[in-house]
Amino acid sequence: MIKQNIIANTALSSPIASASFLNPQGKKWRKTLAADLLLTALIDAFSILVIFLLMNFSSNGEILFMSKDMELPKAAQGEILERNPVIKVEEGKIFLEEKMLTAEGLIAELIEMRKAFKSTHPAGEEMPATITVQADRRTKYEALNQIVLACAHAGFSDLKFAILMK
């Protein structure tokens, strides 16, 4: 006979069970319904899922916003990407933090960014000279050259080219 436990009670008095055309209220079906509820396997599966998802968990979150047409190049020797100002090249257009600019406008905007940082940090702290560059893997160097030159003009010496880790 079925033991009077919580699982058996929950299963037998549930709305699904009472509505079933198999008529679980009958003595014959009561036995079958309680025996089929093997929660150990479900908990095993859940635990494996939680472990897998925890291993993939990243506290950094998504740093870059990528459109569906953009494919980053792949590399094995890359380093962890940190949050820095992002310059993006998309379809020949240059964006600084999602703001579309010309090559000349980019230099002015980068210099302005440095000034704004200095004014908000009166202790004389310098803005880190780091910029993240995001571009499609098929982008030609003539488009990236404008960014390299603009960064050099504005005093940003550390360029971090965004890649996908192999």
Site for another protein, rule CB under 8 A: 5-7, 10, 39, 42-43, 46-47, 49-50, 53-54, 56-58, 60-64, 66, 72-82, 129, 132, 135-142, 144-145, 148-149, 151-152, 155-165
Half-sphere exposure of 17 toward its Cβ, with a 13 Å CA cutoff? 19
Residue 135 Cβ vs another protein, minimum distance, rounded to whole Å = 5
For another protein, the closer of residues 78 and 85 by Cβ is 78
Tokens of residue 137, six digits: 């893997």
Residue 150 Cβ vs another protein, minimum distance, rounded to whole Å = 10
C-alpha angle 7-10-11 in degrees, rounded to nearest 5: 85
Residue 58 Cβ vs another protein, minimum distance, rounded to whole Å = 5
Whose structure tokens read 């004389």?
124
**What letters, b where the CB count within 10 A reaches 16 and e where it falls short, cover 23-52?**
ebeeeeebeebbeeeeeeeeeeeeeeeeee
Q: What is the rounded CA–CA span in Å between residue 111 and residue 121?
A: 15
Strands 93-96 and 86-90: antiparallel
Q: What is the rounded CA–CA span in Å between residue 84 and residue 94?
A: 16
Residue 118 Cβ vs another protein, minimum distance, rounded to whole Å = 17
Residue 80 Cβ vs another protein, minimum distance, rounded to whole Å = 6
For another protein, the closer of residues 19 and 76 by Cβ is 76
